[in-house]
Amino acid sequence: MATASRSGRRGGSEDEDDRTAAMRRLRVLSLHLQDPSSSSEGGLALAACAAGRRRATGGADAAAALAAYMRGRHRDTQARVFEFFLSRPDLQTPVEMSTAAHRELCFRQLCALVREAGVRPLSLMANDPAEYFAVMEAAGGADISLGVKLGVQYSLWGGSIINLGTKKHRDRFFDGIDNLDYPGCFAMTELHHGSNVQALQTTATFDPVTDEFIINTPNDGAIKWWIGNAALHGKFATVFARLILPLQGKGGDPADMGIHAFIVPIRDLETNAVLPGIEINDCGHKIGLNGVDNGALRFRSVRIPRDNLLNRFGDVSRDGKYTSSLPTINKRFAATLGELVGGRVGIAYSSVGILKVSVTIAVRYALLRQQFGPPKKPEISVLDYQSHQHKLMPMLASSYAFHFATRYLVDKYSEMKKTNDEDVMADVHVLSSGLKAYITSYTAKSISVCRESCGGHGYAAVNRFGALRNDHDIFQTFEGDNTVLLQQVAGDLLKQYQEKFKGGTLSATWNYLRDSMGTYLSQPNPVTSRWEGEDHLRDPNFQLDAFRYRTSRLLHSVAARLQKHSKTLGGFGAWNRCLNHLLTLAESHIESVILAKFIEAVKRCPDEKTRELLKLVCDLYALDRIWKDIGTYRNVDYVAPNKAKAIHKLADYLSYQVRLVAQELVDAFDLPDLIIRAPIGMQSEAYAQYTQHVGF
């Protein structure tokens, strides 16, 4: 190319220089534009969208049919929430506002939703958890701070009364929580302890003389911290503290009965004044979620009636005797935390909603935005560039995969609440931990990718990526740090692994290990490891077998490593030595569950065309994940080199195919403009709305 340029200069031809520069640019762009299915050299595969967002024939019908299948049983409830906020501009969150104003607005939004729109979230949670989570998602769509504040009031404060209390507590508090007469908090986290709940230091010492518990913060490390609703609006708090019984330990020492939950009034119901013995301070401005008033609580010998102990799993009689149906502190602790999984279910479910909003904005803008193109031809949509498809199309596919996985999680949680089946409870505990950790981590990374994919316009606050990223970021931490939750998944897998070799039965979510572990213990088939045909690679049996084989291999190998290292390092040291391996195992298992639920959803779809569309998206999700971890499969010859190359090529091609229906796929999320809000993410007149926003 340099020789050609020098020849042009010697000939003095400016036209030839221009042609050379144009060819150089075209060759670079062609690397991004090729249809991965094309075998022709340098061929450009351009989807027809130079005029903006144009649907394929029948696109609107396809989107409508897919949206109908995607809708949950409670879409009508969500629609009523959307319509309520659309009719109330005074309750819509502006782009810019102070922390104080945002908190005041968020509380007004919640009060209006309950008292004017007539939504009763606690009743929904008690009677139909799926409808409750639908309301939470809709409220979070209006403002993520509202969704979180609603969750604090109902999932946490209300949930503690329902799940940890008994009839006397429900009779006393249920209606007041439901109608917001009793705004409350969930005071678990302390300055020095968050994930390690068993190490909390706040104490609740029983006084047999007055028949009261004395709540006390023994040191600064025990100050309750990051407590939602505490800084301004909370009137009560469920306080997690160590239950201390005087003189009942060895040698007449106090007996520590472990962590229990207590109802502690913190403000006067009429004046809102902080009650004696309680100190509340504001945690201040945060990275995000500034509509939620997080506070810190210190207790100085605060007395509460004995009946304020939430006594479902442990009780203290008038004469100070402790009773429980569960024999040990560890079993009582596990039962207590097991009843609080609804918070994790709600976070996983809400995180998928935030991912859908982000992907919708990014995809619609990528269809609208035009940059460069072949010489003397119109500019093309940036979504026609292979590099852009590689960023967004697997993310769009993951949004669908997560949608069906969390729908399954909500159904399992609803089943758990109805049946109280111990096996289902154990299943939901681990499944909610894994999905919450995996989905929120994925969404956090994806929001940044979406922002980047929208260029400079993605940096405008009005286009929402900054607020979405900042508000969602803490989803990775509250209701269980993601790294800690993944360790719970890994620990349960190892427990199931041991049960298998003891001849025990495996719980429902893990029962695939029975077959795939047997497959792992045999050598990979040298024939199937080389199959590279499209029909084979798009066979859900191959895809699911690959996911499960990887999980089984990781499980077997980490079990062997733990056994080896425990001999010299002990149990804790061995776990820490293998920690990254354990986290990879947990993520692999959760990906297997997500894919399995996606495949089931595809098979259940009654409409043939919609089913074909979902199958395309599911195939992209599966093959993209296999390709991203291709080293694992290559290392054990599960996939031969030619097959790995075929997987890569097909994943690229499927990204291109999904791009052709990308508009239909994001439209099928059925998100109204009130929820999208970003001008660049509107279904029509995006640029016009954007320019109007800045004053043109």
| Residue 402 near residue 439, CB atoms below 8 Å | yes
From 137, 190, 339, 479, the catalytic residue: 479
Q: What is the DSSP letter of 214?
A: E
Report the relative pairing of strands 302-305 and 295-299 from DSSP bridges.
Answer: unpaired
Residue in the block written with tokens 């403002």: 143
Which amino acid is present at 588? S
| Residue 486 near residue 434, CB atoms below 8 Å | yes
What is d(CA 397, CA 383) in angstroms, rounded to the nearest whole number? 15
Which amino acid is present at 63? A
Which amino acid is present at 11? G
Q: Is 339 marked active-site?
A: no
Helix, strand or coil for residue 578? Answer: coil
**Which positions ≥6 away from 364 have C-beta within 8 Å?**
53, 663, 666, 680, 681, 682, 683, 686
- Read off the tokens for 79: 């629609």
**Which positions ≥6 away from 596 have C-beta within 8 Å?**
512, 544
Is 228 annotated to bind a ligand? Reply is yes
Q: Alpha carbon of 327 to those of 256, 307, 681: distances in Å?
A: 14, 22, 56
**Which positions ≥6 away from 428 have C-beta within 8 Å?**
341, 345, 409, 412, 413, 416
User: 579-604 and 422-453 are packed helices; what angle lies between their axes, rounded to 10 degrees?
Assistant: 90
- CB-based burial label for 170 (10 Å; 0-12, 13-18, 19+): middle
Q: Alpha carbon of 119 to those of 116, 134, 155, 451, 463: distances in Å?
A: 8, 12, 15, 34, 30
What is d(CA 224, CA 217) in angstroms, rounded to the nearest whole number? 8
Query: Can you name the residues that pair with 296 across neighbouring β-strands?
Result: 281
What is d(CA 262, CA 204) in angstroms, rounded to the nearest whole number? 8
Q: Alpha carbon of 463 to those of 454, 618, 694: distances in Å?
A: 10, 29, 12
Is 189 annotated to bind a ligand? Reply is yes
**Which positions ≥6 away from 186 have C-beta within 8 Å?**
152, 156, 157, 160, 227, 228, 237, 238
What is d(CA 60, CA 629) in angstroms, rounded to the nearest whole number? 36
Please state whether 539 falls in left (phi above 0), alpha (psi between -120 and 50) or beta: beta
Helices and strands counted in the chain (H then E):
26, 11
Residue 516: name the closest of 541, 536, 535 by CA: 541
Q: Beta strands of 170-284 (E only): which ranges?
A: 184-187, 203-207, 212-216, 224-227, 236-245, 255-265, 278-282
**Which positions ≥6 away from 152 have C-beta within 8 Å?**
185, 186, 228, 229, 292
| Binding site members for FAD | 189, 228
Q: Which are the catalytic amino acids? A: 479
Q: Which residues are annotated as a binding site?
A: 189, 228
